[in-house]
Each structure stands twice: as C-alpha cells, then as structure tokens.
Structure 1
C-alpha cells in the first residue's frame, strides 16, 4: 500500500524544505527520496556540517541547494518561509527542537498558519490488515475536547483522501461500545457519530464508541453483536480519546507487529514531516512520500 503512495509521489515530485538539515538520519531519508524521485530537497542549516555529513555519506551536493543558517531557530523560520513563498511544497524537521519548528510554523510573518488546528496523523501499514490505518492523535494534541476531536477527524480525513481513501471510515475509540455517562470518551464518540450523520463532519463515515478490536476486526464485531455499523471491523481512521491511548496504540503496533509507518503534522497550509530521531530511515522516507502526496492534494 505504501508502495502505491511512493509510485504516485514519483509522478509529481515535490520540493521539501528541511530545517536544520545537519542531521545524518534526516539526510539519509532526503537523499533516498531524491534517488527514488519522490521529492527534491532544499537544505537549510549549518552548511559546513551539512557538507561534511554528505561527504561522509559519499553524497554529491552539486545539484542540491544548501542555504547556510547556523542557528536552528532561524533555520526553521527560513525553511518555513520557503514553503510559505512557494519555493518549497512542504516542511521537514531536522536537528532542532519540535517546539522551535512549531514556533516557526505559527510565526505571523514566516509561518504556515491556515486557521485550522494542527494535529498529528500516523499512517500505518500492517501486514495483517487489508488497508492503511490512520491514527490520530498519538503525538501532539493531548486531551482534545469534542470540538477538537471533530477537527482531528477532519484533518485525518484530509490525509486519508490524499492517500486515495475517498470515504474513510472513522472509529471513535473507547473502552466499551455502550454509551456510559461516567466515561466521557463514549459520550464524545456518540456525539461525533451524530455530528457526522447531520453533516457537521464531512467526507467520511463515523461510528462510535468502538473498542479497538471491534474497530479493526470484523470477527470481533460479529462476535460482540455489533450490527448496522459500516465502520466496525473495517476502520480506516482510529480516533484516540487522548494522547496516552493514541501513543500506546502507535508504540504497540510499531514494536510488536510487522508494519511500516509514516507520520505528518497537518492543519497548516502545507504538510510538515516531523519524525523522531529513533524512527527508521524507512519511516522518514515514507513520511516524505505521504507529505508529497498531501501537498499535491491540497493544491488540487
């Protein structure tokens, strides 16, 4: 499934502005993306260190633009400005703090404000599941209220549609399937379902509350007697009730299954690739491919 995204990205490669690009794992991913025809890099950062790392990696920078900015915060602002001015299509975090990158994204003069809430969407391909899974939010929005959950869904729907899932099925995850006034996530999931049915949340199908197993296993949904749900057993998007649940799902899938993962920050005027230093080069490459596709979708 990810290979289809890579193939699609190769048809219309985009330009990525890398903030504080003096980071070997990030450069490895960027060079791999360039070699595969997914994205063209604009490297913003400490030019001496970037060129030294590239030399150690045996990479030729003669056809790659390197913009010298030794201060990471200034590099973030400059890279963000490149995207804002249309010289690049999306932004990628290099060797700097996430908070500094997000400050640049939200900067009034150089940033990528869109009026929407910023959130993180994880894209997961698991060998045992017949579709991509989109998980939100495992990394950014900690304790979303009902309004924020509706925005999380719309952001995730945008990502899913950019990856070719035109009517994604959204599962509001909770510990039980029945609405329980003492369990706020079940109330939110039920309200989000009604908001979707009344056209307040669009371009998707929402159902909840659903437990994780009934969201992704048709057998579990049948065994538990869940009827009349178009989402149960076939979810495309998992809406976590809070960051602890989202992060636990992400880490469990990543550590205990055979999977491939990409991740993006969305809600800005352009996609943002923000990966962990612990993430593999493959994860970074897949994130770049997804960002390239999302950038194309947002401009279409």
Structure 2
C-alpha cells in the first residue's frame, strides 16, 4: 500500500495535524469529546452541527446498525449559541464548527457566534432528515451559493458539506465555490430507510434517515472524483472511510484530506490506528497522489 510522509497539512485555510478529521455529528457534542479525539490522533475535528435555535431532534430510535453501515435520523439536536462555551477547552486547536440554518442570514448569525473560537466553518447544507434545513437547501445551487457567501464574508475558512442526493453534485460544488468556499466536503449521508417486518413499521422514529458507513464509500469516491474535475478548491472526502487504504483511495480520487465518522463506532482510537498504517518516514509526498486517478 502507498504510505505518506507525515507532517502537518493545510486544507481550505485550516491548519491540520494530519489528513484525518473527525466528521460532524460523531463525538463532537462537547469540548471534552473533541479534545479526546484530537489527543488520540486526529489531525482536526468537526463539531456537531449547530443551528440558530436549540433543537431536541427527532424521537427515537435515532440510530440503527444495518448491513454495511449505520442508519440515523438525529434531526440536528443541538444547544445553539450555548455551544460556544464548549470550545473553550479546545481553543487554538484545529476545530471546524459545523453550522446550519434555514436562510443565508441564519447561517451568518450562527457563524458570528464562533468567530473567536473556530478554525473555520463547515456549512451543513446536506443533512437528509431535517425539514427546512440541510439538503432542503443543498439541492438548490443558488441557495448553496447564497449561504456560502453569507458565511465566507466573515473571512474565516468556509467549507461546504454537500449532499449526494442530487442529480449533479458538480453543479452544487461550483455554486459553493462561487460563494467563496475554501473547501468542499463530500459527502453527507445517503437517503435511506429500513422497515421492521416484525413490527410492520420503519425502524427509525423519523421513518426516514441517512445511511453512512462502508456501504456508501464507493458513492463518496465517485462524488469526490466528479468534484475534483469540476472545482478548483480543495475537497475533503467523507463517507465510509475506515482504513488507511480508504484514505489513499479518496486522495487519489481528488481529496486533500478525509473525515471519518461511522468507523469511530467500532474503534474510538481509529485515527491513531489509521495514521500508523498511513504514514511512514520514507513515504511519498501526499500531494503526489491527490487526484492522480485522473491522469
């Protein structure tokens, strides 16, 4: 397997300890959990998505393990502006704050709370199970552009996390770039559901949810590949990454870094595990493989 030379990396204006980040929504709910992930080998972390008002989220069950992955419908639960104090514990470290809103103005308002605490922002325009938020906006390139512009005006790194549940993700990526995105994150979960044949009803309290985990890795690779050809800003690959070889594959498709989410469920120390396999003093320079599958 290809190994990379270790060392810090800058992606989309954010300085990272390595190429591995914690994805939004996974152990990103407190300053203590974010610090724990950084201390176990992550090069950066993305927080739980924070919105303009507190939300309790959907009724349970909210998370169900299925063949090949995890099905979830959390409903974007968050404490809103009160989350600012949680970042005191990780101030000065590579923490990207995931934010959401229903309008460009709400995105700007939420981002404004974190300008002194965040290394950058990740715009959640891709959650598939929160009415009025997420993918409800992220399927419209004009809205993606407007929301991105509203946050990028704050002059902090602005990443935009896209949904795969569209006919043309490249158009969405270009819209984010026009709005001032410094990086694009691909992808969020894939719309999905399961039904309990014993109970004769959907297994999730919200009925519908999003699928993550190894089953969506090939979808994520294809989306990264398409975005690399369509956009000029860096891409952060996300979706089913669970090994060092997965990281290399994502980078060959065009990713400059990757986010890891569902795999943390099986191994909270997975960042250190992957880093041990991914990096070697005699490895190649990482930029040599970014997008090399396009040659």
Which is helix-richer, 1 or 2?
1
Same fold? TM cut 0.5: no
Which of the pair has more CA radius of gyration?
Answer: 1
TM-score (ref. length: structure 1): 0.29
TM-score (ref. length: structure 2): 0.30
